[in-house]
């Protein structure tokens, strides 16, 4: 692994005992901030029988109540604000496709914190001052485009802010401006690969891809790295934590996602009991923000599935905790014919089959209360439905229905791909 510069070496390589001392100072501060300045936080802590004075060590964190998306939705739009509204400079929110949207507001300090985390991610990927990057997520209510932008400004990068869509133009700009790094969702990287194949061209200057907002399997990672000739990085962050990159990314070692521990405390808990799990055990990721002021999160249950992979110093030199790459969300778990599985498991299986393309659909069909699974996938000539079914049966334990299609026959999206569809029978 080639040596990489760091954006903030002092904090990124801080000894763990110093990190823990800093975390405690900041945890006490954020608990006091939220308790003193917002009735919602105060009521939750009072109901749990805890107040700021009770936080004397990091072990006391587990006495604090959990937060979930329901807290954001119950207080929509700004009912959890912990600062004067005049201090706000920006807001972003989730799509709200499943209910009331989640809103995150930002002070100047919050935007600077976001930019700091993103600048660390850029440098960790080997993107340095003056490098040309192309930001393909949209610049709007979704936080993706602006998160990449704020960090790039702080890191001194040359920004091509294309936003989403118009893939032929995206490719033209990458060539014209010798873009070195692509920011986006992995499914859009796949779309760029397809257009490059149609144009019979390539992007010789493109070396790095930072992808977020979608989980993607190791098999998909290998496909996109081979197809675009790049090294990919899996960036982590969500609306509730402040946006893309706030909670970290994998480094060039690609052995787990570094979470910025001077900014966030990470727990992994049993999704049923809420009890902390030992390192290495798979469970639900819980995050506490230590440096955000407008709307901090304290023990926020992300619904993301991962595990504490290592607390040891990484070969990249960083001392921050590493969690396993997100394998799915608890909300995404599917139960078909008594078998529990996640869409990422289907993707991992499909991408491991020689001749299977990058575009697929997972269709949940329900009739009279009984669910069945259909998987449609694009394949190269010579790959049969029987071959695909055989691999899926080995992975899932049952045979899903489905069809194989020629390349280009399944629908595409210019942005984040929709992989799972629901179909109700008569």
pLDDT tens digits, one per residue of 222-231:
989 999 999 9
- The pLDDT-based confidence of 11 (bands split at 50, 70, 90) is very high
391: domain CATH number is 3.30.300.30
Report the pLDDT value the prediction gives residue 247, as an integer from 0 to 100.
Answer: 96
> In the numeric block, which tokens belong to residue 204?
């010789």
Please state the φ and ψ torsions of residue 310, each to the nearest 5 degrees. Answer: -160, 145
3-state secondary structure of 30: helix
Rounded Cα distance between 93 and 111, Å, is 15
Do 265 and 374 sit in the same domain of this protein? no
Question: Do the beta carbons of residue 221 and residue 280 sit within 8 Å?
Answer: no
- Quote the percentage of the chain above a pLDDT of 90: 67
* Greatest C-alpha distance within the chain: 68
Q: Does residue 179 sit in the same domain as residue 251?
A: yes
Q: What pLDDT is stored for residue 365 in this prediction?
A: 84
Work out the pLDDT band at 385, boundaries 50, 70, 90. confident
Task: Please indicate, yes or no, if residue 43 is contained in any of the structural domains.
Answer: no
Q: How many CB atoms lie within 10 A of CB 166?
A: 12
Q: How far apart are CA 35 and CA 41, in angstroms?
A: 6
How much is the pLDDT for 328? 81
Look at residues 57, 51, 48, 49 and name the one whose alpha carbon lies nearest to residue 24: 57
Q: What CA–CA distance (Å, rounded) separates 127 from 130? A: 9
Higher-scoring residue by pLDDT: 19, 409: 19
Better-predicted residue by pLDDT, 407 or 321? 321
The mean pLDDT value for 126-131 works out to 96
Write the CA distances from 298 to 38, 90, 244, integer angstroms: 13, 21, 18
Q: Is the pLDDT of residue 181 over 70?
A: yes
Above 50 in pLDDT, residue 388? yes
Domain membership flag for residue 31: no
| Domain stops at, among 314, 330, 346 | 330
CATH number of the domain to which 201 belongs = 3.40.50.12780
Among 85, 91, 171, residue whose Cα is nearest residue 136: 171
Q: Does position 344 have pLDDT exceeding 80, yes or no? A: no
β partners of residue 362: 375, 420
Same domain (yes/no): 285, 347? no
The answer on 237 and 177 residing in a single domain is yes
CA–CA distance, 26 with 262 (Å, rounded to integer): 8
Q: Residue 210 domain-assigned?
A: yes
How much is the mean pLDDT over the chain?
Answer: 91
Q: 297 and 339 in one domain?
A: no
Question: Residue 60 corresponds to which tokens in the numbers above?
Answer: 């006391």
CB 52 within 8 A of CB 28: yes
Give the count of domains, the chain: 2
Q: What is the C-alpha separation between 179 and 418, in angstroms, rounded?
A: 27
Give the percent of the chain with pLDDT over 70.
95
277 plus 376 within the same structural domain: no
If asked whether residues 94 and 189 sit together in one domain, one would say yes
Residues 338-363, mean pLDDT to the nearest whole number: 83
pLDDT for the residue numbered 3: 44
CA atoms within 13 Å, Cβ hemisphere of 218: 6
Distance in angstroms (rounded) separating the CA atoms of residues 416 and 405:
21
301 and 183 share a domain? Answer: yes
Q: What is the 3-state secondary structure (H, E, C) of 47-108?
A: HCCCCHHHCCCHHHHHHCCCECHHHHHHCCCCCCCCCCHHHEEEEEECCCCCCCCCEEEEEH
Give a yes or no: residue 66 inside a domain: no
For residues 182 and 397, which has the higher predicted lDDT (pLDDT)? 182
- Taking only the tens place, the pLDDT of each residue in 255-288 is 999 999 999 999 999 999 999 999 999 999 999 9
Neighbours of 8 (CB within 10 A): 15
Looking at the fold, whether 149 and 244 belong to one and the same domain comes out as yes
| Domain carrying residue 220 | 9-15+90-330
What pLDDT digit, counting tens, does each position of 287-302 carry? 999 999 999 999 999 9
Residue 54 falls inside a structural domain: no
Cis ω for the linkage preceding 152 (within 30 of 0): no
Decide if 372 contacts 365 (C-beta within 8 A).
Answer: yes
Mean pLDDT computed over 8-21: 98
Residue matched to tokens 């060039």: 252
pLDDT given at position 422: 80
Q: Do the domain assignments include residue 312?
A: yes
pLDDT given at position 416: 65
Residues 343 and 326 in one domain: no
Residue 152 pLDDT level (bands cut at 50, 70, 90): very high
| C-alpha angle 292-268-39 in degrees, rounded to nearest 5 | 40
Name which residue leads in pLDDT, 321 or 354: 321
pLDDT at 1: 44
Looking at the DSSP bridge assignments, the partners of residue 322 are 258, 310
Strands of 163-321, DSSP E: 181-184, 208-211, 231-236, 248-250, 257-258, 264-269, 283-289, 300-306, 308-310
Q: Final residue of a domain: which of 307, 330, 353?
A: 330
Whole-number pLDDT of residue 338: 65
Residue 221 has pLDDT above 50, yes or no: yes
pLDDT band (50, 70, 90) for residue 219: confident
Q: Which residues fall within 8 angstroms of residue 299, CB to CB, at 6 or more apart?
A: 61, 64, 65, 66, 67, 267, 286, 287, 288
Q: What are the φ/ψ torsions at residue 385 (nearest 5 degrees)?
A: -60, -35
Do 287 and 375 sit in the same domain of this protein? no
Question: Distance (Å, rounded) from C-alpha 168 to C-alpha 13?
Answer: 41
Whether 76 is covered by a domain: the verdict is no
Does 337 lie in the same domain as 312? no
Among 78, 68, 65, which residue's Cα sits nearest to residue 35?
65
The confidence band for 369, taking pLDDT boundaries of 50, 70 and 90, is low
Residues 6+ apart with CB under 8 A from 86: none
Mean pLDDT value across residues 109-119: 98
Q: Is pLDDT above 60 for 114?
A: yes
End-of-domain residue from the set 310, 330, 350: 330
pLDDT, average across residues 19-36: 98
Inside any domain, residue 189: yes
**Region of poorest pLDDT, from 126-140, 146-160, 292-306, 387-401:** 387-401
The beta strands (E) that lie in 237-329 are given as 248-250, 257-258, 264-269, 283-289, 300-306, 308-310, 322-323, 328-329
Mean pLDDT of 124-132: 97
> In this predicted structure, what is the pLDDT of residue 98?
52
């Amino acid at each position: 692994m080639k040596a990489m510069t760091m954006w903030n070496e002092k904090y990124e390589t801080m000894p763990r005992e110093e990190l823990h001392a800093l975390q405690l100072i900041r945890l006490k501060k954020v608990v006091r901030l939220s308790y003193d300045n917002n009735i919602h936080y105060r009521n939750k802590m009072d109901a749990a029988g805890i107040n700021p004075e009770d936080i004397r060590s990091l072990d006391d964190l587990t006495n604090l109540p959990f937060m979930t998306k329901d807290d954001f939705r119950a207080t929509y739009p700004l009912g959890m604000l912990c600062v004067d509204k005049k201090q706000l400079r920006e807001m972003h929110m989730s799509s709200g496709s499943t209910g009331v949207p989640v809103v995150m507001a930002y002070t100047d300090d919050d935007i600077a914190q976001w930019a700091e985390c993103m600048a660390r991610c850029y440098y960790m990927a080997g993107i340095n001052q003056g490098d040309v990057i192309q930001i393909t997520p949209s610049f709007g209510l979704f936080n993706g485009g602006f998160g990449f932008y704020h960090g790039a400004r702080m890191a001194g990068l040359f920004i091509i802010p294309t936003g989403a869509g118009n893939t032929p133009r995206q490719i033209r700009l990458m060539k014209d401006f010798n873009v070195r790094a692509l920011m986006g969702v992995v499914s859009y990287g796949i779309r760029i690969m397809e257009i490059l194949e149609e144009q019979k061209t390539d992007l010789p200057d493109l070396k790095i891809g930072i992808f977020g907002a979608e989980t993607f399997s190791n098999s998909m990672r290998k496909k996109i790295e081979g197809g675009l000739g790049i090294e990919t990085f899996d960036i982590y962050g969500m609306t509730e934590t402040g946006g893309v990159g706030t909670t970290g990314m994998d480094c060039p070692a690609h052995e787990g996602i570094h979470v910025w521990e001077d900014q966030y405390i990470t727990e992994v808990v049993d999704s049923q009991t809420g009890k902390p799990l030992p390192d290495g055990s798979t469970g639900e990721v819980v995050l506490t923000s230590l440096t955000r002021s407008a709307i901090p999160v304290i023990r926020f249950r992300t619904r993301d599935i991962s595990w504490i992979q290592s607390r040891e110093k990484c070969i990249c030199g960083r001392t921050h905790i590493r969690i396993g790459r997100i394998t799915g969300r608890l909300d995404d778990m599917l139960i078909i014919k008594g078998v529990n599985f996640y869409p990422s498991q289907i993707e991992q299986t499909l991408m491991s089959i020689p001749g299977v393309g990058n575009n697929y659909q997972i269709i949940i069909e329900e009739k009279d209360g009984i669910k069945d699974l259909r998987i449609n996938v694009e394949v190269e000539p010579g790959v049969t439905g029987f071959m695909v079914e055989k691999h899926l049966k080995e992975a899932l334990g049952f045979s899903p229905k489905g069809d194989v299609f020629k390349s280009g026959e399944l629908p595409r999206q210019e942005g984040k791909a929709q992989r799972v569809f629901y179909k109700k029978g008569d």
